[in-house]
């Protein structure tokens, strides 16, 4: 690589870093003050991009039209953020953090469908910036003038934010609330107004980040989750709540990506390495490295403990065997009366139930929230498919060996993850899931790339849908029962002790990290079993089984049912899978409907469905007494 | 000024306040005494709305406040100084004061940074120092100054003498008498009986979430069996 092309790649990287920085700074600001991991932040970016596209069409492709469109789009997205805060989040600030997360997932679904409704499913390619469409020659290479402007915008926004945060009363309140928002309230500051203003600023930044990308990137409906993943990585690498850290991280990652594209395919020692294929993975590799070396990010500090008078997590109650027996008999009986369609749907539900229960195990009792649980589900599914198709294993053997493969990955990923806690841990799980996804997505010769693997059908004796349903029920039911049983073993007690008080648990001699690692491997293996059973039920697998969407589906299932009960995740998986199926048959906009339903549930039952029902029953019993 | 009647409060399922009643009149310094875990801090937090009141009435200047959010209570002119100081460690002294700032109230003393530096001279020399790099005594002064920036009529002070060197405790007592001189009412929690005797007009004793004694400091001073029963460790 010549010196000139190094400079060009550097400039490319810096131009890309600007938008990444804007989005991440907004996310970081919002997280710092409200402690909400706003999954909808990527959706706001997407709205900014779409909004700018439409506004430029309306205002005309002149410099004035272009720049007014960018500014108006950013401000409009700011207002959208304010609406989200006032209508949804404000009502649930006192709810558990995970429930707020669920609400932001719902917002993601709703915004995606609003964008689909307004702008359609086709990618929209925006115009080049009027007046800046020429290229500037640097060292004999041409670089778009607009990119140079973008490079300047990043530091300018950083400077403005820095002034706002250090030179104004608003900034002092934001920084104070980041540390101890209850105290800020006791000093007479209206938190609701402060939160709304922070949401406005954060959303404007997301919208601006999107709007500025209009000449560089087509508006499309997949941006929401891909951008939120990027933004998570950058805030975590930079250190949560650190705007300067976000800037640094955006530059490192932007430049690293640009170089991966620029280097292309290189042959080292006879080994062909495709750096351009690394583009999708490189940021997650950087993140994994940074978090292992500096668990709070480059410029971050240990998270302040927010003082909220929260009740301790209630102890779990073991499900009664008689109830379980009734359910098993019902589930066994259903295919005798129902049609083929219901049987297939039930097979899905059974797989997702095990997936959700394994996720619940790790995020509830073990206290390690995973944003990337799809990794193990997807790896299990792919392992099953590849062992069957490529290695030629009999189906039965593939079905049973595949979970072990997923478990093997959990051994590696878990080793890194248990070194972290809280949001950092969650982000690292997301990173590993994305790494797995990118490998599956790009390794065409083995995994079939975006097409996936086809023709993974069960053996003849299992070909009948009803028979296969019984197999799924047996495998997943056993998996669920096993996980629940483990929770009431000394190992399960140790995990819960570690969740409630890590220091005390270690002080009485529990090797917490070792136990958490073991838990990681256990749930990874069982999620892999769910994936493996799922793969053979569908006959094909695609990269979506390992995507962020699959991970968030799992989270929605667990949180919908309620994280404080054992049966909650099963109920959540059943309701979500069934509802999605029903709604998707009637409308193209099933996501918006699901999102609406989830929002209703969040606002009405802040403890999840099963928890909410239990509370209702409890109140009714009290009234009777 | 401030009157509490039959206040009950819970921490999770623990019934901490079991019907606390007390009163602080205008311009009066009242001490709430009791052993560790008696419910003193919870009483202040509950008055301030930081721990929800399950039952009972809290009246401040004729207004019922037990259902209000903490920031509303603060804006009515009731200041709160927490036990653990809760300084914003990333913010400088001046910024900490800024967070506490509220507009002036007609009938309450008005505080500016300069007046507060006169009251706590130690702070004057460290305007730009981050709160995290101050000693315990300096932080205690800053937390009181920060609350005074809200120009309150009445201040709830949680254990102002805790963990301070004797000379600083002396200064703190002087500062509280100055506040009284300005016409502020003060309700303070204390375990330190000597400190309370140096500043308070009246005292209540809390034990297991209930008020066991209410009277003047002189009455408390003359009753050694009372002190023996509720205060001695």
Distances from the Cα of B77 to the Cα of A187, A506, B181, angstroms: 10, 46, 17
Tokens of residue A481, six digits: 């029962």
State the pLDDT at residue A305. 53
Domain that holds residue B32: 2-230
- Residue range A117-144: mean pLDDT, rounded: 88
* B72 contacts: CB under 8 Å, gap ≥ 6: B49, B65
DSSP for A425-494, written as a single string = HHHHHHHHHHHHHHHHHH-HHHH-GGG-B------GGG-SHHHHHHHHHHHHHHHHHHHHHHHTSHHHHH
Partnered with residue A265 across adjacent β-strands are: A274
Other beta carbons within 10 angstroms of residue A567's beta carbon come to: 19
Structurally, chain B folds into a number of domains equal to 1
In whole angstroms, give the CA distance from residue A263 to residue A276: 7
Token pair 């002396």 is at which residue?
B170
Decide: A267 and A273 in contact? Cβ < 8 Å.
yes
CB A484 within 8 A of CB A566: yes
Question: A101 or A214: whose pLDDT is higher?
Answer: A214
Q: Do B95 and A186 make contact, defined as CB atoms within 8 angstroms?
A: no
* Contact call for residues A243 and A143 (beta carbons, < 8 A): no
Q: Which residue has the higher pLDDT, A280 or B180?
A: B180
A143 and A136 Cβ atoms separated by less than 8 Å:
yes
User: B79 pairs with which residues across the strands?
Assistant: B155
Helix (H) or strand (E) holding A228: helix A223-238
CATH classification of the domain holding B12: 3.40.50.300
* pLDDT at residue A308, as a whole number: 44
Residue A217 to residues A122, A259, B19, B184: CA-CA distances in angstroms? 13, 18, 65, 62
CB nearest A182 (choices: B50, B91, B147): B50
Put simply, the chain B residues between 75 and 94 with a CB less than 8 A from any chain A CB are 75, 80, 82, 86, 88-91
Strands B29-33 and B202-207, sheet pairing: parallel
Determine if residue A370 is left, alpha or beta; phi over 0 gives left, psi from -120 to 50 gives alpha, anything else beta. beta
**Cα separation, A420 vs A302, whole angstroms:** 11
Tens digit of pLDDT for each residue in A501-559?
Answer: 888 888 999 999 999 999 999 999 999 999 999 999 999 999 999 988 899 899 989 98
> Would you say B101 and A173 are in contact if contact means Cβ atoms under 8 Å apart?
no
Number of neighbouring beta carbons within 10 Å of residue A150 = 23
- With b for 16 or more beta-carbon neighbours within 10 A and e for fewer, the A91-114 pattern comes to ebbebbbbbbbbbbbbbbbbbbbb
Per-residue pLDDT tens digits of chain B, which is 233 residues long = 899 999 999 987 889 999 999 999 999 999 999 988 889 999 999 999 999 999 999 999 999 999 999 999 999 999 999 998 999 999 999 999 999 999 988 788 899 999 999 999 999 999 999 999 999 999 999 999 999 999 999 999 999 998 899 999 999 999 999 999 999 999 999 988 889 999 999 999 999 999 999 999 888 888 888 888 877 76
Q: Which residues of B fall within a CB distance of 8 Å from A312?
A: 12
Q: pLDDT value at position A125?
A: 94
What residues of chain B lie within 8 A of the CB of A190, using their CB? 71
Three-state DSSP at A171 gives: helix
What residue has token string 């981050």? Answer: B130
Complex ipTM: 0.94
Mean pLDDT taken over chain A: 89
What is the per-residue DSSP string for B118-164? HHSHHHHTTTTSBGGGS-HHHHHHHHHHHHHTT--SEEEEE-TTTT-
With beta carbons under 8 A apart, name residues in chain B contacting A188: 71, 74-75, 100, 102, 150
Q: Smallest Cα–Cα separation from A88: which of A74, A102, A78?
A: A102
User: Which pLDDT does position B91 carry in this prediction?
Assistant: 95
A188 interface with B at CB cutoff 8 Å: yes
pTM of the model: 0.88
Nearest neighbour of B99 by CB, restricted to A176, A190, A191 = A176
A311 confidence band (pLDDT: 50, 70, 90) = low
- Quote the tokens at residue B88: 């914003």
- For B156, which residue in chain A has the nearest alpha carbon? A186
pLDDT band at A307 (very low <50, low <70, confident <90, very high): very low
Give the pLDDT score at A304: 56
Check if the beta carbon of residue A469 is closer than 8 Å to that of residue A343. Answer: yes
Q: Is B212 on the interface with A (CB under 8 A)?
A: no
Question: B192 with B172: CB under 8 angstroms?
Answer: no
Architecture of the CATH domain A321-624: Orthogonal Bundle (1.10)
Q: What is the pLDDT of residues A192-245, one digit of tens each?
A: 999 999 999 999 999 999 999 999 999 999 899 889 888 988 998 998 888 999
Test A185 with B70 for CB contact under 8 angstroms.
Answer: yes
> Is residue A180 within 8 angstroms of chain B, CB to CB?
yes
Torsions phi, psi for A355 (to 5 deg): -55, -50
State how far residue B203 is from chain A, nearest Cα, in angstroms: 25
Q: What is the pLDDT of residue A226?
A: 86
- What pLDDT was estimated at residue A607? 67
Domain range summary for chain A, segments of one domain joined by +: 3-233, 321-624
């Amino acid at each position: 690589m010549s010196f000139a092309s190094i400079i060009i790649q550097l400039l490319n990287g810096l131009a890309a870093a600007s938008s990444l920085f804007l989005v991440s700074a907004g996310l970081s600001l919002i997280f710092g003050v409200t402690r909400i991991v706003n999954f909808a932040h990527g959706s706001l970016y997407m709205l900014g991009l779409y909004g700018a596209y439409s506004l430029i069409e309306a205002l005309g492709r002149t410099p004035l039209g272009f720049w007014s469109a960018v500014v108006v789009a950013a401000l409009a997205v700011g207002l959208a953020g304010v609406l989200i805060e006032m209508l949804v989040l404000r009502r649930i600030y006192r709810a558990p953090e995970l429930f707020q997360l669920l609400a932001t997932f719902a917002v993601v679904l709703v915004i995606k469908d609003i964008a689909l409704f307004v702008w359609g499913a086709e990618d929209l390619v925006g115009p080049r910036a009027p007046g800046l469409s020429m290229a500037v020659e640097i060292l004999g290479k041409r670089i778009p003038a607009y990119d140079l402007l973008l490079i300047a915008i990043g530091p300018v926004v950083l400077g403005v934010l820095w002034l706002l945060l250090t030179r104004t009363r608003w900034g002092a309140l934001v920084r104070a609330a980041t540390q101890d928002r209850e105290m800020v309230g006791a000093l007479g500051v209206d938190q609701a107004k402060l939160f709304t203003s922070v949401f406005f600023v954060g959303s404007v930044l997301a919208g601006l980040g999107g709007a500025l990308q209009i000449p560089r990137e087509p508006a499309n409906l997949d941006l929401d989750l891909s951008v939120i993943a990027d933004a998570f990585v950058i805030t975590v690498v930079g250190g949560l709540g650190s705007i300067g850290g976000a800037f640094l991280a955006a530059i490192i990652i932007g430049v690293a990506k640009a170089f991966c594209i620029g280097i292309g395919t290189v042959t080292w020692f006879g080994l062909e390495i495709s750096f351009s294929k690394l583009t999708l993975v490189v940021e997650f590799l950087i993140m994994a490295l940074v978090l292992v070396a500096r668990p709070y990010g480059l410029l971050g500090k240990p998270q302040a403990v927010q003082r909220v008078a929260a009740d301790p997590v209630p102890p779990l109650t073991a499900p009664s065997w008689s109830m379980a027996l009734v359910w098993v008999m019902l589930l066994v009986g259903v295919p005798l009366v129902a049609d083929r369609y219901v049987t297939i749907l039930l097979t899905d539900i059974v797989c997702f139930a095990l997936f959700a229960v394994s996720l619940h195990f790790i995020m509830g009792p073990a206290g390690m929230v995973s944003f990337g649980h799809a990794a193990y589900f997807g790896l299990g599914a792919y392992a099953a498919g590849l062992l069957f198709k490529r290695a030629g294993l009999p189906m039965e053997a593939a079905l049973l060996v595949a979970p072990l493969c997923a478990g093997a990955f959990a051994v590696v990923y878990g080793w890194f993850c248990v070194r972290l806690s809280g949001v950092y841990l969650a982000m690292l799980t997301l990173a590993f899931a994305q790494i797995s996804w990118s490998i599956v997505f790009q390794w065409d010769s083995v995994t079939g790339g975006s097409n996936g693997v086809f023709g993974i059908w069960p053996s003849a004796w299992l070909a009948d849908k009803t028979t296969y349903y019984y197999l799924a029920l047996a495998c997943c039911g056993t998996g669920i029962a096993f996980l629940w049983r483990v929770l009431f073993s000394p190992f399960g007690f140790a995990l819960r002790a570690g969740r409630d008080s890590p220091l005390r648990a270690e002080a009485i001699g529990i090797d917490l990290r070792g136990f958490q690692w073991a838990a990681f491997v256990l749930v990874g293996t069982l999620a892999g079993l769910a994936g493996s059973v799922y793969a053979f039920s569908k006959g094909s697998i695609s990269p979506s089984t390992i995507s962020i969407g699959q991970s968030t589906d799992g989270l929605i299932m667990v949180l919908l049912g309620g994280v404080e009960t054992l049966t909650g995740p099963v109920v959540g998986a059943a309701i979500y899978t069934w509802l999605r199926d029903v709604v998707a048959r009637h409308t193209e906009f099933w996501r918006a409907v699901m999102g609406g339903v989830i929002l209703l549930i969040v606002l009405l039952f802040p403890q999840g469905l099963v928890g909410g029902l239990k509370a209702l029953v409890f109140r009714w019993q009290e009234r009777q007494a | 000024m401030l009157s509490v009647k039959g206040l009950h409060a819970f921490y999770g399922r623990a019934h901490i306040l079991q019907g606390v009643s007390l009163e602080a009149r205008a311009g009066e310094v009242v001490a709430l005494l009791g052993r560790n875990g008696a419910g003193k801090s919870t009483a202040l937090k509950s008055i301030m709305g930081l721990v929800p009141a399950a039952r009972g009435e809290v009246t401040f200047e004729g207004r019922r406040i037990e259902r209000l959010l903490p920031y509303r209570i603060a804006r009515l002119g009731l200041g709160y100084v927490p036990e653990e100081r809760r300084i914003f460690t990333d913010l400088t002294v001046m910024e900490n004061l800024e967070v506490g700032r509220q507009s002036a109230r007609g009938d309450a003393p008005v505080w500016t940074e300069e007046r507060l530096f006169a009251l706590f001279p130690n702070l004057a020399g460290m305007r730009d120092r981050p709160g995290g790099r101050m000693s315990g005594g300096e932080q205690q002064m800053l937390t009181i100054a920060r609350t005074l920036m809200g120009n309150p009529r009445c201040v709830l002070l949680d254990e102002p003498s805790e963990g301070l060197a004797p000379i600083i405790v002396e200064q703190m007592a002087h500062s509280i008498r100055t506040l009284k001189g300005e016409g502020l009412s003060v309700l303070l929690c204390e375990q330190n009986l000597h400190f309370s005797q140096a500043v308070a007009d009246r005292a209540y004793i809390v034990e297991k979430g209930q008020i066991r004694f209410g009277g003047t400091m002189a009455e408390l001073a003359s009753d050694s069996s009372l002190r023996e029963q509720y205060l001695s460790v």
